[in-house]
Structure 1
Amino acid sequence: MGRLPAILCLHGGGANANIFHIQTIRIQRALADQFEFVFLDAPHETGPGPGVLPFFEGCTPYLRWTSETGQVSMPEKTRDLLVKTQEEQKKKDGRGFVGVMGFSQGGRVAAGLLLTHQLTKDTDAGEKGLRFGVFLNSVCPPMAYEVEGSDLTTKIEFPSLHVIGKKDPWKDSGRRLFEENFYEKQAVLLEFDVAHRLPTQQEDTAKLTAEILRMHRNTSAFDA
């Protein structure tokens, strides 16, 4: 396995993979020697999301992970896309994604992906790869697959980092995701003085990326 470990990156609602690539460029630069970042486009078209305009005007198509507003469970198109993408990554590197990183609505999908792996017992990193999640200005609840006979309110046990903007209009939803949906001993919360976007100060990016490295380091025993 000569490739760098890969993190699956899921953009917010009303954005796309290219926009999320730009939004996370500081994280990518700081971790360029540690991870490969794989950006995925959501399957449903929509209008521009919060904070997308005017900076990303014309950067179409704007996409979202749900087919309609208010969906709790993961839509079939989104599920099929995630399954295909994970299978393709495992063929590439023999390992699959070690982590998933989601922004806003993409955080709901990222949380749902971790929860689904947990409920279906796919938590063995040597088998399925996923080990941790990064949630950037995310909202709740997790958007999980429908798993027969499983409780979708189960707390997620994977290590997780939750980044919240103190001026974000959806910060309370992000805190609920952190407090209600993740196992407290495995979850870390970082708050920055920003709105619905990532911090731009170098020291803030350093704090964020240090936590990602810590989670990866603490779960790297699976490579042994």
Structure 2
Amino acid sequence: MLPRILCLHGQGTNAAIFKIQARKLVALLEQDFELVFAEGMIDCPAGPGILPVFEKSGPFRMWLYDNWIDSEPDEEPDWSSGVQRLADDVLVKQGPFVGVLGFSQGAKAAMHLLRWAEKKYGEDSPLKFSLLVCGTVPGRGVRDPDDRRCKVCEESLALGRVKAESIHVIGSDDHWRPESEALLKFFEPETRNLVRFPGGHHMPLEDRVNTTLAQLVQAAYEGM
């Protein structure tokens, strides 16, 4: 049985779409790993760049509420309303998994799940590594201390950093790049890897970049 990697899509997509988006990386990993593409638990509108290409590929889903448009934010520092459900419905029932791949909001959900597993299981956490692509961050990565969103980010960071090895992938032209940079702080520097690629808010398309990511995943697994 191949070791399994849990894959979490971005906001406003779904498991089938993410499998297409990640197809180049999947092709490099699927001989050594089984990639399990989980489905988000919350219905939502299509995300950026999804329409019109995937117009008939709904329903579209997300993992957690992080709406900051209204006067009060929906996001929680520890995502307590969703992480237990994700752990029960996916991590336990569909596992075991050795690592997790997350894109955009899926990377933020992965961080919450990794931290939850480490608090629950300690050094015996089943998730030993993560690959986080164009990730967003609790509090939406706000750096202005006077911004009301900054409190959520600070409270979440105070809950502790993820110790498992992490691979962070950041696009140079990603509009959410500041959030991806802020997400680095939620992981221990000693076990953190950073890969930058020339692109926007999407899975890397260059063969060279995907080869590098596949090699880093393999090295992380072998170093467990």
Q: TM-score, normalised by structure 2?
A: 0.84
Counterpart Cα distance in 2 of 1:151 and 1:140: 10
Q: Hey, what's the Cα distance between the residues in 1 that align with 2:12 and 2:130? A: 21
% identical aligned pairs = 31
CA distance in structure 2 between the partners assigned to 1:12 and 1:214 by the alignment: 25
What stretches of structure 1 of length at least 5 have no aligned partner? 91-95, 144-149, 220-224
1:121 deviates by 3.4
Q: Is the 8 A contact 1:67 1:75 kept in 2?
A: no
- Residue 102 (structure 1) aligns with: 102
Check 1:151–1:141 CA distance in 2 against 1; reply closer, same or farther (3 A cut): closer
- Find the aligned partners of 1:140 and 1:87 in 2 and give their Cα distance: 24
2:2 alignment partner, SS class: coil
| Structure 1 residues 139-178: aligned runs within 5 Å | 139-141=136-138, 152-178=158-184
Counterpart CA distance in 1 for 2:195 and 2:66 is 31
Determine the C-alpha separation between the residues in 1 that align with 2:120 and 2:104: 25
- Corresponding letter in the other structure for 2:75: Q
Cα distance in structure 1, aligned partners of 2:86 and 2:110: 13
Correspondence for 1:84 among 61, 66, 89: 89
User: In 2, distance between residues paired with 1:99 and 1:152?
Assistant: 24
- State how many pairs are aligned: 202
Question: Cα gap change, 1:58/1:152 in structure 2, threshold over 3 Å: closer, same or farther?
Answer: farther
Mapped partners of 1:65, 1:88: distance in 2: 17
Which secondary structure state, in structure 2, belongs to the residue aligned with residue 160 of structure 1? strand
Q: Please give the secondary structure, in 2, of the residue aligned with 1:207.
A: helix
Is the CA contact (8 Å cut-off) linking 2:83 and 2:116 kept in structure 1?
no
CA RMSD of aligned residues (A): 2.1
Provide the rounded CA distance (Å) in 1 between the counterparts of 2:157 and 2:200: 33
Unaligned runs of 5+ in 2: 68-73, 141-155
Task: Say which is worse superposed, 150-159 or 200-209, in terms of deviation.
Answer: 150-159
**Post-superposition offset of 1:33:** 1.2
Is 1:71 aligned to residue 75 of structure 2? yes
What is the match of residue 93 of structure 1?
A: none
Q: Distance in 2 between matches of 1:142 and 1:109?
A: 13
1:11/1:20 contact within 8 Å kept: yes
Moved over 6 A (4+): none
**Partner letter of residue 63 of structure 2?**
W
Name the amino acid aligned to 1:209.
Answer: A
Q: Deviations over 1:128-179 (max 9, x none)?
A: 5210111011011299xxxxxx98531111100000110000011101111x
Name 2:19's counterpart in structure 1. Answer: 21
Residue 31 of structure 2: which of 30, 33, 38 is its match? 33
Q: Which residue of 2 aligns with 1:147?
A: none
| Contact 2:40–2:62, Cα closer than 8 Å, also in 1 | yes
SS in 2 for 1:8: strand
Distance in 2, matches of 1:54 and 1:78, equals 31
Residue 205 to residue 66, structure 1, CA distance change in 2 (3 Å):
same
After superposition, what is the alpha-carbon deviation per residue over 1:88-138, rounded to whole angstroms, capped at 9, x for unaligned? 234xxxxx10001111001111001111112223431xxx52101110110
Instruction: Say which SS state the counterpart of residue 120 (structure 1) adopts.
Output: helix
**2:190 is equivalent to residue 185 of structure 1:** yes
Q: Cα deviation per residue 1:28-48 (whole Å; 9 max; x = unaligned)? A: 110111100111111111111
Task: Map Cα deviations across residues 18-76 of structure 1 (whole Å, 9 max, x no partner).
Answer: 01111111111101111001111111111111222232222100111124614133253
